[in-house]
């Protein structure tokens, strides 16, 4: 990582710009303390992209993303764009970025910080020590399958269609990602499907089983998605790596995030192409935008993932994670994770606390 690297910042909508502003502080601390050259370029995306150019994913934004080593995204979407045609909705920008950058693997860690074990809606003894990694397939499945759309039939009635498709090579490459990351963790993978009903996920189960033959150190289990949803609230600590399809991963990762206390805490990495994309898993939260109450920690932790996965700097990732942990241990909380006796801070102050402590740590 000796040459200058280019990072595209895509603040997007709602609380996106606020959390990206705090993440920028973290990147700048890393840059100055470690004497790295990190070129940051900010571009519009989502609703902001639509307002600027008429498209949620403007051409120049996509080009900047493709030309950079990593992309850090805030969030997209808001009520003012909900009635636009499907092709113009802010969410299309995310799907466009994922597929154009070839980001087929989405890593979503749901790890509980000790200090927050009382912030979950589940009992502390059920979630204490929880450390799950959801590996979600991101460029296939029902999100991208053809045919799709809504058609009007000759009798005037309408028919909506989406298609769940996976090829064996798409399944094999995401299974390898899950097995490879599991090797560095507790060596357990649960592959989640609906093989009792959907042929496509029957193939998923078959290919995952076949690929597993090359990973004899890994303990592989298969589970139906409905059972997994239940087990995640019954006994979440049985899970280490969860490997699953695009749509099941979308749903299960939101569920897993709440086990950690707040969806405002979870970062994510989308990898598989030459540019990685990093984003908090929470959305744009338009109801709290502009009030300095958003939790910037998921985006700050996403910066950590960026250093780990795009720049091979696990040390920086670990330092950021440790500083976040320490700030939480000192009792600082944004509103979403606030509990009795803790010190309430806003988005900006939380970003300052983390960046100041990181500055003295690096
Ligand atoms: C996510 C989001 C997106 C998805 C939406 C905003 C398109 O829910 O990243 O989980 O469904 O993938
Ligand atoms: Mg989602």
Residue 352: pLDDT band with limits 50, 70, 90: very high
Res 2: pLDDT:
55
If we measure between CA atoms, which residue out of 277, 305, 301 comes closest to residue 350?
301
* Domains of the chain, residue spans: 1-104+272-362, 106-265
**From residue 208, how far is each of 44, 203, 215, 234 by CA, in Å?**
38, 8, 11, 25
Indicate which residue of 118, 131, 180, 254 is catalytic: 254
**Residue 153 banded pLDDT, cuts 50, 70, 90:** very high
Q: What is the atom index within ligand 1 of the atom nearest the CA of 91?
A: 7
Q: Ligand 1 center to residue 44 CA distance, Å?
A: 18
Q: Please answer whether residues 140 and 170 qualify as being in contact, where contact means their C-beta atoms are separated by less than 8 angstroms.
A: yes
Structure tokens at 151: 């058609």
Atom of ligand 1 nearest to the CA of 253: 10
- Active-site residue, from 41, 111, 187, 194: 194
**Distance, CA 347 to ligand 1 centroid (Å)?**
23
pLDDT at 120: 84
Best residue among 71, 90, 94 to mutate for probing ligand 1's pocket (most ligand atoms within 8 Å of CB) is 94
305's tokens? 């993932």
Q: How far apart are CA 246 and CA 244, in angstroms?
A: 7
Atom of ligand 1 nearest to the CA of 268: 9
Q: 249: CA distance to ligand 1 center in Å?
A: 10
Q: What is the mean pLDDT of residues 50-58?
A: 97
193 tagged catalytic: no
- Alpha carbon 102 to its chain centroid, in Å, reads 15
The stretch 196-225 carries a mean pLDDT of 98
CA end-to-end span of the chain, whole Å?
A: 17
Percent of the chain with pLDDT over 70: 99
Per-residue model confidence as pLDDT tens digits over 72-106: 999 999 999 999 998 999 999 999 999 999 999 99
What would the pLDDT profile of 309-345 be if each residue is shown by its tens digit? 999 999 999 999 999 999 999 999 999 888 889 999 9
pLDDT value, residue 121: 87
Residue 14 in tokens: 């709602």
Task: Look at 1 and 51; give whichever has higher pLDDT.
Answer: 51
The average pLDDT across 118-146 equals 93
Ligand 1 site: residues with CB under 6 angstroms? 91, 94, 250, 281
Strands (E), the chain: 5-12, 38-42, 70-75, 105-111, 131-137, 149-152, 158-161, 188-193, 219-224, 241-244, 267-271, 276-280, 332-333, 343-344
72 is written with which tokens? 């850090």
Question: What letter would DSSP give residue 289?
Answer: T
- Ligand at shortest distance from the CA of 76: 1
Q: Say which residues have a Cβ less than 8 Å from residue 232's Cβ, sequence separation at least 6.
A: 239, 252, 255, 256, 259
The reported pLDDT for the residue numbered 359 is: 96
Which of 168, 226, 312, 329 does the annotation list as catalytic?
Answer: 226
The mean per-residue pLDDT over the stretch 6-34 comes to 96
Cβ partners under 8 Å of residue 265, min gap 6? 113, 116, 257, 295, 297, 298, 301, 337
Give the pLDDT of residue 263.
Answer: 82
Tokens of 346: 């806003």
Beta bridge partners of 221: 190
Which residue, judged by its Cα, is nearest atom 6 of ligand 1? 91
Is the pLDDT reported for residue 209 higher than 70? yes
Query: Rounded distance, CA 7 to CA 296, Å?
Result: 19
- The domain made up of 106-265 is a member of CATH 3.40.50.970: no
Q: Given a cut of 70, is residue 1 above it in pLDDT? A: no
- 1-104+272-362 falls under which CATH superfamily? Isopropylmalate Dehydrogenase (3.40.718.10)
Look at residue 267 in the predicted model and tell me its pLDDT.
96
| Closest by CA position to 25, among listed 14, 38, 6, 44 | 38
Q: Tell me how far the alpha carbon of residue 35 lies from the centroid of ligand 2, in angstroms.
A: 36
Cα 250 to ligand 1 centre (Å): 6
Taking a C-beta distance cutoff of 8 angstroms, is the pair 225, 244 a contact? yes
Angle among Cα 95, 175, 226 to the nearest 5 degrees reads: 75
250 is catalytic: yes
Query: Is 226 one of the catalytic residues?
Result: yes
In the annotation, is 254 catalytic?
A: yes
The whole-chain average pLDDT of the chain stands at: 95
Q: 3-state DSSP call for residue 224?
A: strand
Residue 261 has what pLDDT? 80
| Strands ordered across the beta sheet of 131-137 | 38-42, 5-12, 70-75, 276-280, 267-271, 105-111, 131-137, 241-244, 188-193, 219-224
CA angle 76-37-301, nearest 5°? 40
Q: How confident is the model at residue 301 (pLDDT cuts 50, 70, 90)?
A: very high
Residues present in the chain in total = 362
Greater confidence, 279 or 120? 279
Ligand nearest to the CA of 103: 1
Catalytic residue among 13, 50, 55, 143: 143
Mutate to test the pocket of ligand 1, among 87, 143, 283 (most ligand atoms within 8 A of CB): 283
Choosing from 13, 193, 240, 250, the catalytic residue is 250
- Residue 288 near residue 15, CB atoms below 8 Å: yes
Residue nearest to atom 10 of ligand 1 (CA): 250
Would strands 332-333 and 343-344 be described as parallel, antiparallel, or unpaired? parallel
Confidence (pLDDT) at 35: 81
CB-proximal residues (5 Å) to ion ligand 2: 250
Give the pLDDT confidence of 247-273 residue by residue, as tens digits. 999 999 989 988 988 788 999 999 999
Average pLDDT over residues 342-355: 97
- Region 188-204: mean pLDDT is 98
Nearest CA to ligand 1 atom 4: 250
Same fold, 1-104+272-362 and 106-265: yes
High-pLDDT (> 90) share of the chain, %: 89
């Amino acid at each position: 990582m000796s040459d200058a690297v280019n990072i595209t910042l895509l603040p997007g909508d709602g609380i996106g710009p606020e959390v990206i502003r705090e993440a920028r502080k973290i990147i700048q601390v890393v840059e100055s303390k470690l004497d790295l050259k990190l070129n940051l370029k900010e571009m519009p995306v989502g609703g902001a992209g639509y307002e600027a150019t008429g498209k949620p994913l403007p051409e120049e934004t996509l080009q900047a993303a493709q030309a950079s080593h990593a992309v850090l995204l805030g969030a997209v979407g808001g009520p003012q764009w909900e009635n636009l045609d499907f092709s113009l909705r802010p969410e299309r920008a995310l799907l466009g970025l994922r597929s154009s950058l070839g980001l087929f693997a989405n890593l979503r860690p749901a790890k509980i910080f000790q200090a927050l074990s009382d912030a979950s809606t589940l009992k502390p003894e059920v979630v204490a020590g929880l450390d799950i990694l959801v590996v979600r397939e991101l460029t296939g499945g029902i999100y991208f399958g053809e045919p799709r759309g809504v058609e009007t039939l000759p009798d005037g009635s309408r028919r909506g269609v989406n298609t769940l498709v996976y090829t064996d090579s798409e399944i094999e490459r995401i299974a390898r990602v899950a097995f490879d990351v599991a090797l560095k963790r507790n060596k357990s993978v649960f592959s989640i499907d609906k093989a009792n009903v959907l042929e496509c996920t029957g193939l998923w189960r078959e290919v995952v089983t076949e690929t597993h033959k090359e990973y004899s150190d890994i303990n592989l289990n298969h589970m139906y998605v409905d059972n997994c949803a239940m087990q995640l609230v019954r006994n979440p600590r049985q899970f280490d790596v969860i490997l699953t399809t695009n749509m099941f991963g979308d749903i299960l990762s939101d569920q897993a995030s709440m086990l950690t206390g707040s969806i405002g805490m979870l970062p994510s990495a989308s990898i598989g192409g030459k540019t990685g994309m990093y984003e908090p898993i929470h959305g744009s939260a338009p109801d709290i935008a502009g009030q300095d109450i958003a939790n910037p920690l998921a985006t700050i932790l996403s910066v950590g993932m960026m250093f780990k996965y795009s720049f091979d700097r696990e040390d920086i990732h670990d330092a950021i994670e440790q500083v976040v942990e320490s700030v939480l241990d000192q009792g600082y909380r944004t509103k979403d994770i606030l509990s009795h006796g803790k010190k309430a801070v806003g988005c900006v102050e939380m970003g300052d606390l983390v960046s100041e402590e990181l500055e003295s740590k690096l």
